[in-house]
Amino acid sequence: MALAFCSSLLFSSSTPPPSSPSLPFRTSPTDSSLITIPAPHRIRPISIRTRPSLRPKATVAADSPATGGAAPRSGPPRVLLEVKDLKAVIAESGQEILRGVNLTIYEGEVHAIMGKNGSGKSTLAKVLVGHPDYEVTGGSVIFKGENLLEMEPEERSHAGLFMSFQTPVEIPGVSNFDFLNMAYNAQRKKLGLPELPPLEFYSYVSPKAAAINMDLRFLDRNVNEGFSGGEKKRNEILQLAVLEADLAILDEIDSGLDVDALQDVAKAVNGLLTPNNSVLMITHYQRLLEYIKPSYVHIMYRLPWQTKQHSMQMQTI
């Protein structure tokens, strides 16, 4: 099902970034609340023992090649998603959650967001997909050159944005096959393409289900009804495979999975990566990063001595 959030990290420009001579760094816009660090599989762990100034100045991002083993590009990758100084509150209470997030994702990149519960990892995603529980109060979000914040949730999906729910919902009375067929044809209609009838769609979806080790009998079952946790996550990836989204937001896709199921899901995600699409995944566990190699890792958590204006701190892994 397609929808996710990431809370901010404050980092002082007076505190130097982790040293890595072999990796060039690029600076994000000032007052960014999101910090990007080199992916853990590319550098050895670094421990920050001193407490930096709380006044936000700038953030840094480590460049790394695109992941996924895709073929070389014929030209430079384009920006898929550009978030600038994004601020958002809970619509009902007005409580501020996002306090100026800056994030740029290029084609072919895999970004990972990590942090404790309550640090806000899932909120950014929900804001990006237009969840009604949140209200944007500042900043901008450009997706594939268009203003994402002006789009309705279904328009964002048709534009190529997908989010995998942390807890996929059940839809009684609607079979997986019918749900996927309707979603796929809605996308084709938006692109001006003819709809696929059921028989042709079955030929299209069958190999995608087989690629994630999903029994084809699951297509006849109601959406997520009676599914185990692993089956629900596989179903989410099947939806991603069918829709072939440009940017997939995977919210804790590894939760509730045993090792075999995690490997199947990771293999499916890696198989979907091309030089033209990207993944933003949210996770608590580094084990996921062993199967889906990130280009960038963002880490955030709330400090026990936080204030309303300064509530996040970076820690490298």
In a domain, 181, yes or no: no
Is the confidence at residue 75, as pLDDT, over 60? yes
Write down the pLDDT at residue 18: 39
Q: pLDDT per residue over 116-169, tens digit each?
A: 777 777 888 999 999 999 999 999 999 999 999 999 999 999 999 999 988 888
Q: What share of the chain is helix, strand, coil (3-state, %, to 5)?
A: 25, 25, 45
In a domain, 226, yes or no: no
- Which CA distances in Å does 180 have to 1, 56, 154, 236? 10, 44, 15, 11
Q: What angle do CA 121, 289, 234 make, to 5 degrees?
A: 80
Structure tokens belonging to residue 302: 């709330």
In a domain, 126, yes or no: yes
Assess contact for 35 and 8: CB atoms under 8 A.
no
State how far the Cα of 102 lies from the Cα of 85, in Å rounded to an integer. Answer: 5
In a domain, 309, yes or no: yes
Q: Which residues, at least 6 apart from 42, have a Cβ–Cβ distance to it below 8 Å? A: 23, 62, 64
State how far the Cα of 99 lies from the Cα of 15, in Å rounded to an integer. Answer: 20
pTM, full prediction: 0.74
Reported as a pLDDT band with limits 50, 70 and 90, residue 202 is very high
Reported as a pLDDT band with limits 50, 70 and 90, residue 268 is confident
State how far the Cα of 41 lies from the Cα of 63, in Å rounded to an integer. Answer: 13
The domain total for the chain is 1
Per DSSP, helices labelled H in 142-255 are 153-158, 176-190, 198-211, 229-243
Q: Looking at residue 287, which CATH number applies to its domain?
A: 3.40.50.300
Write down the pLDDT at residue 149: 95
In a domain, 8, yes or no: no
In a domain, 16, yes or no: no
In a domain, 39, yes or no: yes
Is the confidence at residue 12, as pLDDT, over 90? no
Q: Which residues, at least 6 apart from 190, have a Cβ–Cβ distance to it below 8 Å? A: 158
Which of 315, 288, 289 is CA-nearest to residue 301?
A: 315
Mean pLDDT, residues 244-270: 89
Determine the structural domain holding residue 71 and report its residue range. Answer: 25-158+275-313
Q: What angle do CA 307, 309, 313 make, to 5 degrees?
A: 75
Which of 296, 298, 289, 255 is CA-nearest to residue 269?
A: 289
Q: Name the 3-class secondary structure at 104.
A: strand
In a domain, 1, yes or no: no
Q: pLDDT per residue over 81-118, tens digit each?
A: 999 988 888 999 988 888 888 889 999 999 998 877 77
State how far the Cα of 261 lies from the Cα of 264, in Å rounded to an integer. Answer: 5
Q: Name the 3-class secondary structure at 216.
A: helix
